[in-house]
Amino acid sequence: MEDLKKRKLDEAGNGDFASKEELRFLIEPLAKPQLVDLLAKLGSQYPSIAEEIKSIASADPAHRKLFVRGLAWNTTSETLRAAFEEHGEIEEGAVIYDKVTGKSRGYGFITFKNMESTQQALRASSKLIDGRLAVCNLACEGLSGTSSAPDLSLRKLYIGSLSPEVTSEMLLTYFARHGEIEEGSVAYDRDTNESRGFGFVTYKTAEAAKKAINDLEKTLGGRNIIVKYADSNKGKTGQPPFPPGVVTMAAYPMTTGYMQPGKAHVSSGPPINYNYPQTVAPYSASPYPNPHTAPSPYPTQGQIPYPPVSAKKDQQGFPPTQPVGMNNYPYYYPKQ
């Protein structure tokens, strides 16, 4: 150590210092991790360098401004600032209100005077403000913070059938037994500020969310509550569509009859054993300009046997004029 001090004094005495241009030439090829390690090491050894680093880092407000979401409708700017003062001096803080209605939009911003306070606030647990768990991230990240992580669907739960007396604080306390909660609240009506009977809880891990779902005891506020993944109902808007190329009976233009080799035969229903929906190729404009002159997609006489039309009844016992519906596939025949 004494040798190092002596060498520094000798260098100072001889004036053997590298110029700024020379240092820049040496630093430019270095990778970012190398520069970070170097500056961190120098800052820990020399207070003047540490102050310079803090000053430069805090110069850009984007590094000091937090976006805070999940606020209660009655949370004010004063309440918001008071919740974050423990982390350091606040330069600016406010809840955002709708310009037309004058009501809170459920989020706000906090800008600290230095970057250190901002980092402390980000590392701290989510804050319970006016009964709701508020979550924050850097404003420059918008909504791309932890709550939009790829595994969010495995961490966010929908809680239904809640009693009107259940508050957000009661909800969070009840579900905290399964793991650390990142975000959660009862859903309140914007106008009346009354519970809407459901809420959401987002855990920090997928394992905690799974425990909450598998928990057999699901009673809160004297009611049996519903606990499931928040996006479990997404996409279930009706029956799935038919596969490509499958056309329903109503969508396919039907002709009143089709031709059989050697004689004309008129049909008002589908042939025997002909099932819908069917996969059909679209008509081509050429060489059949008129769709009704295109080859019939129905089977020919050689493919399906037809009972003689002169018979009073066929082998199955159907009378010659047996009326059937579109969904009934036994074939019926013209009058004798």
Query: Going along the chain, which residue ranges are E strands?
Result: 65-69, 90-97, 104-112, 127-129, 132-138, 156-160, 181-188, 195-203, 219-220, 223-224, 226-229, 246-247, 257-260, 263-266, 278-279
Helix crossing, 47-59 with 115-123: angle to 10°? Answer: 80
One-letter amino acid of 319: P
CATH class of segment(s) 150-229: alpha beta
> In the prediction, which pLDDT does 19 show?
87
> In the prediction, which pLDDT does 55 show?
85
> In the prediction, which pLDDT does 57 show?
82
Phi, psi (5° rounding) for residue 263? -160, 160
Phi, psi (5° rounding) for residue 257? -165, 175
> In the prediction, which pLDDT does 327 show?
47
Q: Which CATH architecture has domain 61-147?
A: 2-Layer Sandwich (3.30)
Start and end residues for every CATH 3.30.70.330 domain found in the chain: 61-147, 150-229
Which residues in the chain land under pLDDT 50? 9, 12-13, 146-147, 235-280, 283-285, 288, 303-306, 309-311, 321-333, 336
One-letter amino acid of 74: N
